[in-house]
Structure 1
Amino acid sequence: MAEELKITSGSRQEVYESLLPQIKSLIEPEDDFIANCANIAAALRQTFGFFWVGFYFVKNQEELVLGPFQGDIACTRIRIGKGVCGTAWEKEETIVVEDVEAFPGHIACSALSKSEIVVPIFKNNVVVAVLDIDSDKLNDFGEVDKIYLEKLALIISEIIAS
């Protein structure tokens, strides 16, 4: 049975502080990683109204392949080091982009995307996926998003099958 998220209004930090425990309780009883990623993407998009939220999974250590997402049609495959997602994977760090048009090598899956944050997800100290979130507003992501989405990435890494 699907659960409804209960988010009160407040600062973005307060919303994350309310949302993360709810996501954790939503995904803990489910052992299917794909289903959990789908619900995480939906929860983030529903809560914040982001333009696009989704996952890319590392395949053969050569490329990222599209996973569960919420939003417009997306790029299916991204090479390591390419675009924001491939760069976050290669550098093994979160990347916050205030204006995607200013990011060298940005891959424009949608002209409506204006800013982006990509958070790597690790398993055994290796990037296995990235969480990609796009906004249709410039400079929509900051340090609060980085902190809480990295906390979410740790939660996600705990549910990845060994």
Structure 2
Amino acid sequence: MEDLTLLPAQLDALLTGENNTVANLSNASALLMQTLPDLNWAGFYLFDEAANDLVLGPFQGKVACMHIAPGKGVVGASFDKKQVLVVPNVHEFAGHIACDSASNSEIVAPIVVDDKIVAILDIDSPSLDRFSESDAAAITEFAAVVAKHF
């Protein structure tokens, strides 16, 4: 896959000076979709603490599931485990939620602000085994930049 090392710096430059979270998450998902090949969805699920629910936030792609419970699917598992997850084949992931049947692989990362997960970054691909461990490192840095501007 392509070199993603510049992606966090590009995002930081894009978001610097903007304090609106919706605008920042919208541009972060757009940057992913226009920069990374072979994606069919990139966006965020925002944690609603009062409802204990992950709610659809800004994204690029087809319509999506609007609510995901912590612990459910890849997004919910990332929330519970508080870590980046790379899933080479979502159809082999126990409890996978098929929001888009075209998705075959996925990478997710928690957005952490003040030691609390405020959102999950979710990126899907129609290809199997699309995301590597080096992608996970870059997406971890990307998520940290999102958190800085949250």
Shorter-chain TM band: over 0.9
Q: Where in structure 2 are the equivalents of 1:22-101 lying within 5 Å?
A: 22-49=10-37, 50-60=39-49, 62-101=52-91
Counterpart of 1:19, as a letter, is L
Counterpart of 1:59, as a letter, is D
Backbone CA RMSD of aligned residues: 1.1
Deviation, structure 1 residue 29: 1.5
Instruction: Give the Cα–Cα distance (whole angstroms) in 1 for the partners of residues 25 and 110 of structure 2.
Output: 14
- After superposition, the C-alpha distances for 1:66-122 in whole angstroms (9 at most, x for unaligned) are 000000000000001000000100110111100000000000001100000010010
1:125 and 2:127 are equivalent in the alignment:
no
Q: Give the structure-2-normalised TM-score.
A: 0.95
The size of the alignment, in residue pairs, is 148
Q: Where in structure 2 are the equivalents of 1:128-147 lying within 5 Å?
A: 128-147=118-137
Instruction: Give the Cα–Cα distance (whole angstroms) in 2 for the partners of residues 17 and 100 of structure 1.
Output: 25
Counterpart of 1:125, as a letter, is D
The answer for unaligned runs of 5 or more in structure 2 is none
Deviation, structure 1 residue 18: 2.7
Deviation, structure 1 residue 20: 2.3
What is the percent sequence identity of the aligned residues?
41
Where 2:5 maps in the other structure, the secondary structure is helix
Report 1 or 2 for greater relative contact order, CA contacts < 8 Å, sequence distance ≥ 6: 2
Where 2:111 maps in the other structure, the secondary structure is strand
Deviates more, 1:20-29 or 1:145-154: 20-29
On the 8 A contact 2:7/2:138 being kept in 1, the answer is no
On the 8 A contact 1:95/1:119 being kept in 2, the answer is yes
Instruction: Give the Cα–Cα distance (whole angstroms) in 1 for the partners of residues 124 and 91 of structure 2.
Output: 13
Structure 1 runs (4+) deviating above 4 angstroms are none
